Amino acid sequence: MNEQLRQLTDMDRLIHEPARLLIVAILSAVESADFLYLLRETALTRGNLSAHLTRLEQGGYVEISKSFRGKIPQTLCRLTPSGRAAFSAYQQQLTQMLGQLPRAYLATE
């Protein structure tokens, strides 16, 4: 296999999964986001979003805090400093890898 394509296997698998990549990308643009906002923006189901957030939290990339606004529960999510660093490294690695691919791999029909 081409060495440049082999770099795909070195990508951060915690972030590389499409739903988690979407969550991390959204959280990278804000200080924090509540669960309902993420639910709406990602179009994931509640259970799916919750499962992905749990994986990101276990990996140390996301911090989740639960509180109440009056009597209404509120779940806030934010990227941790290591989550921001991991996403930045992921972006750099992806950009570098795509820049090294021969044009034949990037051609669309």
Give the C-alpha separation, 29 to 72, whole Å.
25
What CATH number does the domain located at 32-95 have? 1.10.10.10
- Residue 102 is predicted with a pLDDT of 62
pTM for this prediction: 0.84
C-beta separation of 28 from 81 below 8 A? no
Give the C-alpha separation, 33 to 55, whole Å.
17
- Low-confidence winner among 58-67, 71-80, 94-103 (lowest mean pLDDT): 94-103
Give the C-alpha separation, 84 to 62, whole Å.
9
Give the C-alpha separation, 91 to 62, whole Å.
17
* Residue 32 Cα to chain centre, angstroms: 14
Average pLDDT, the chain: 89
Any idea where the domains of the chain sit in the sequence?
32-95
